[in-house]
Amino acid sequence: MRGAAEPLLSQRHARYGLALLAGAALPLAFEPFVFLPLAYLAPALLFYLWLDATPRQALFSGYLFGLGLFGVGVSWVYVAIHEFGSASVMLAALLTALFVAFVALYYGLLGYLAVRIRNALARHRHQRLLSLLLVFPALWIGLEWVRGWFLTGFPWLNLGYSQIDSGLAGYAPVLGSYGLGWVTLLGAALLLLILLYRSRRKQLGLLLLFVALHLLGYGLLQITWTQPEGQPLRASLIQGNLPQATKWDPEALSKRLSLYRELTEQEWNSDLVVWPENAVSTFYHNIKDGYLAELQQRAREHDTDIVLGLPVMDRQSRAYYNSLLSVGRTPGMYHKTHLVPFGEYVPLESMLRGMIAFFDLPMSSFSAGDPDQPLLQAAGHSVAATVCYEDVFGEEVIRQLPEATLMINGSNNAWYGDSFAPHQHLQIARMRALETGRPLLRATTNGISAIVDHKGRLIARSVQFETHVTRGDIQPRQGSTPYIRFGNYPVLLLLLLSGVVLVWLARSRPVAKSD
């Protein structure tokens, strides 16, 4: 290998500039761009910068990488705050910048810990090999996992999601998106090692390992982990494309209800019709005995079930929920369990309410549903239901499995306008289908609505920003993938074992370096 005394990039500003550039480029590996080589090249470049960095340099370069990643990848936060949260341009920019600055801290911490552990292995003969193949990928995935639950979690732009259409996708039903991300990082490390080694024999061996990773992933993708349950279902997804600004406007309610009813009247040949999150923007009890009763009667006449989104209030406690309601042959209800901060509830509400309009949005005091509530029933099947952002938490989705034979997600992507967010969100939703071996029906307010098969492949999708009905057939499925059975525990066990091995290596008798 090239020695640490001859770094290719020795200038501090070049190091930091490249880290920022690598982070800013990585979102291009995700939807809507899907330039997959960047899923390897961006982490590989960051790993290279850490090979001869001090802990302080790694902290700053990792933090700049995170600023680039989230500054580009979640720039849509600005759209939600400014256009629909009624914040000024300056305030929305400031709040977005503060959010990006916070989540970027994960990659600063990643860099610091990675180099501290690398230094603990300083006298080991295979220090660089261990750092690249064991330390850096394991820490990256460990901190992705922490980011997935800390402060309610923000598992957006996790590296594994970029691989939904790659040769590595077969790892998802086995190890989930975190395991898929780990394998991707191993691929990045192998490519970097090929460049660093001078020995043709070692380069060839590393290349064969890289190819083997992909061949194994492709082979796993050929395994059918789940089995068909019953007959295929004809499904229709209703995308109303009504303005977000009118969502809670009482004067616009009649138009909203009429539009969804009229579009549904054309879909009685379907077994299942799905409306998006809060397609009905008034409380359940307000229209239970009129509009919904009539809709249920029509659905029963045509042997169809409708799943629709609306808020539901407990009239005794006055608590209200963001819910999905099934009307037709098998009435039922699902209350969203994982709420979005500020959009559905306000942390530190007594302090923040009234400060700015963004902290006082309509209907932003929802309560969370019971994680153990009964499964929603529709079209004769048990459904794994999620509302909007809930589907980014794979470990929570599998609570409803293996009993559920299909998945339904109702979302409101109008918050994010014409940004990366709807495309990224669909990519995440497809990963849930692949992990669980279940088909997915995803209805959104203004796009992208989609029908996804049990391999995470798109059967049909809507155009954005148009009133649209997406139609297709799905096959409900039974059985369990390894991810349904074990969730994230295998990945967490691998992280623990990696830590044990590293502690043992760091405490073992030092040996001369050879790589």
Catalytic residue set: 277, 336, 388
Of 476, 437, 491, which Cα lies nearest the Cα of 221? Answer: 437
Q: Are strands 227-228 and 233-239 parallel, antiparallel or unpaired?
A: unpaired
∠ CA(228), CA(163), CA(65), 5° rounding?
Answer: 150
DSSP string, 184-225: HHHHHHHHHHHHH---HHHHHHHHHHHHHHHHHHHHHHT---
Cα 310 from Cα 253, distance rounded (Å): 12
Task: Judge whether 33 and 162 are in contact, CB under 8 Å.
Answer: no
Helices H / strands E in the chain, number of each? 18, 14
Cα 377 from Cα 367, distance rounded (Å): 22
Convert 172-181 to b/e letters by CB count within 10 Å (16 or more is b).
Answer: bbbbbbbbbb
Cα 294 from Cα 287, distance rounded (Å): 10
Cα 412 from Cα 119, distance rounded (Å): 47
Q: Which residues pair with 19 in a beta bridge?
A: none
Q: Is 348 exposed, middle or buried (0-12, 13-18, 19+ CB in 10 A)?
A: exposed
